[in-house]
Amino acid sequence: MEQYKLNDGKMIPQLGLGVYLIEDANELKDSISNALKDGYRHFDTAAIYHNEELVGEALADSDVKREDLFITSKVWNNNTTYDETIAAFHESLKKLKTDYLDLYLIHWPSEGYQEKWRALESLYNDGLVKSIGVSNFEKPQMDKLLTTAKIKPAVDQVETNPYFQQKELHEYLTNLDIAHEAWGPLGQGKGAVLEDPTLLKIAQAHHKSVAQVILRWNIQRDVIVIPKSIHANRIAENIDIFDFELSNDEMLAIANIDKNQRGSENPNDNDWLNESLNMK
């Protein structure tokens, strides 16, 4: 497993397991058990996923030491104040059965995100979280956050896949020394990314799957990836990407298939952000 050094000096495994939409207890516990067996140590959840407790139980049941794990969670949009964010964090901590998190993120740039960031800074300064960051922030929201932040975010976790490569945002984050983390790196089953002819040709040349090529492409862009799967064979396949490299020509070929095609909610959609305040 390759490690990525964050701007606060902490190390994060560059590939992890995402658990979005996995709420079945047996499926989730089996997924985490299989991932641990295959060498995963990085696990990404969120309060809105409604599975933090299951993740905590699965990790507690394993024989992997807590200090060898990297656990991420996120505060949801309905917590808009400093105090609500602190309370939400401690609720996540309780459910995850741990006394600290490795990374805590603001899930979306919704109402109150500057106050939420102030709460994350307090949690960081108190040693309750090793690194703090944001999710789904684009340049305007990040610029605004940085006008009041005392601590620069270590991570921005955003939708990223070969059809939505986030090139401008990637360059912006790189210049700020903020890590780019990709959610939905395999396209979430939308837009036929996994059937793309260019990716299929590259995969055949390396005797790898298209998913492995996509994950390798991210790794070589210095992007952190958290693919989600409940299938043991795919969990094993997704981490088996450290024995090959894409050439410069292959990286360029993938760069050229970008469609700037967002597959999920837009962080600039204020109507959706306002609606999300009522989602629990």
Catalytic residues, by residue number, are 49
Query: String of b and e for 175-185 (b: at least 16 CB within 10 Å)?
Result: ebebbbbbbbb
Instruction: Return the residue matching tokens 């390798």.
Output: 216
Q: How far apart are CA 128 and CA 92, in angstroms?
A: 12
Q: What is the DSSP string of the chain?
A: --EEE-TTS-EEESB-EE-TT---HHHHHHHHHHHHHHT--EEE--GGGT-HHHHHHHHHHSSS-GGG-EEEEEE-TT--SHHHHHHHHHHHHHHTT-S-EEEEEE-SS-TTHHHHHHHHHHHHHTTSEEEEEEES--HHHHHHHHTT-SS--SEEEEE-BTTB--HHHHHHHHHHT-EEEEESTTGGG-TTGGG-HHHHHHHHHHT--HHHHHHHHHHHTTEEE--B---HHHHHHHH--SS----HHHHHHHHTT------S--TT-HHHHHHHTT--
